[in-house]
Amino acid sequence: MKLVRFGAPGEEKPGIVGPEGEIRDLSSHVPDISGAHLDARTLARLRALDPAGLPRAPEGARLGPCVGNIGKFMCIGLNYSDHAAESGLPIPEHPILFMKANSAISGANDDVVLPRGSTRSDWEVELGVVIGKAAKYVSEAEALEHVAGYCICNDVSERSFQLDLTGQWTKGKSCDTFGPIGPWLVTADEIADPQALEMGLELNGTRMQHGTTATMIFSVAQIISHLSQLFTLHPGDVISTGTPPGVGMGMKPEPRYLKEGDVMEVWIEGLGRQRQEVRADV
């Protein structure tokens, strides 16, 4: 089941993707696609609906962030060994955690806006994990039972803010529009193995990133278990699990960063595609 949120920013309605790729309105069955409505019972009820009997969303409706009212937007750094190598950094012994401000969250196809002073904004295709059941002190064996579904995240990063404004990676990760998620939330029952998903990113039609979640240093289950030892993961929390190689910062002989007019296309097997045009803030 593919769940979406469609409509103008701040006015999104819940929806479901129909058999022909059309968006159907779920407003009469659930208030929103958010943590309060990602429990197993609600998802089973929505899964039992016939999308053909639901109203169609307006043609060309904007797709908002696929999860509303996100509590925590957590990100795992350097979680692919080849990305750590291109960054010139050692493989971590434990998952590296940083946060994105929730004000960074945007729709899958919304513009990415370069903040004032940006000189080194970069791209990162990542698998997003959406929590559906509270997790505290869970084992790796039971960790995936707490997942409602998966989505694409583009962990857009301003490297100079991240690395030169010392003290916290979050500074370079939290700019407005730097957290596109979606286009839809694919429920966990449709993803047989989150560690076997091909993924990639194209910039202006040229492939920059290509990898697979099989090469993660820490698996989805390991990440959830680890974080749950530190704090409770709540329904609607999102974890962005790291990126494969091919980011602009790691390009040789010269890094390549985002500029106004660029177009990113981001995809993960089974989870759809994103498309973002880049523009500068005014």
Query: Is there a contact between 225 and 145 (Cβ–Cβ < 8 Å)?
Result: no
Query: What pLDDT shows up at residue 47?
Result: 97
Residue 133 CB contacts under 8 Å (≥ 6 apart), including other chains: 39, 40, 145, 146, 148, 235
Domains and CATH numbers, the chain: 69-280 (3.90.850.10)
Q: What is the pLDDT along the chain (282 residues), one digit of tens a residue?
A: 999 999 999 999 999 999 999 999 999 999 999 999 999 999 999 999 999 999 999 999 999 999 999 999 999 998 998 777 777 778 889 999 999 999 999 999 999 999 999 999 999 999 999 999 999 999 999 999 999 999 999 999 999 988 888 767 889 999 999 999 999 999 999 999 999 999 999 999 999 999 999 999 999 999 999 999 999 999 999 999 999 999 999 898 999 999 999 999 999 999 999 999 999 998
Provide the whole-model pTM.
0.96
CB burial of residue 230 (10 Å; 0-12, 13-18, 19+): exposed
Query: Is there a contact between 170 and 141 (Cβ–Cβ < 8 Å)?
Result: no
Query: Between vectors from CA 15 to CA 12 and to CA 21, what angle results, nearest 5°?
Result: 125
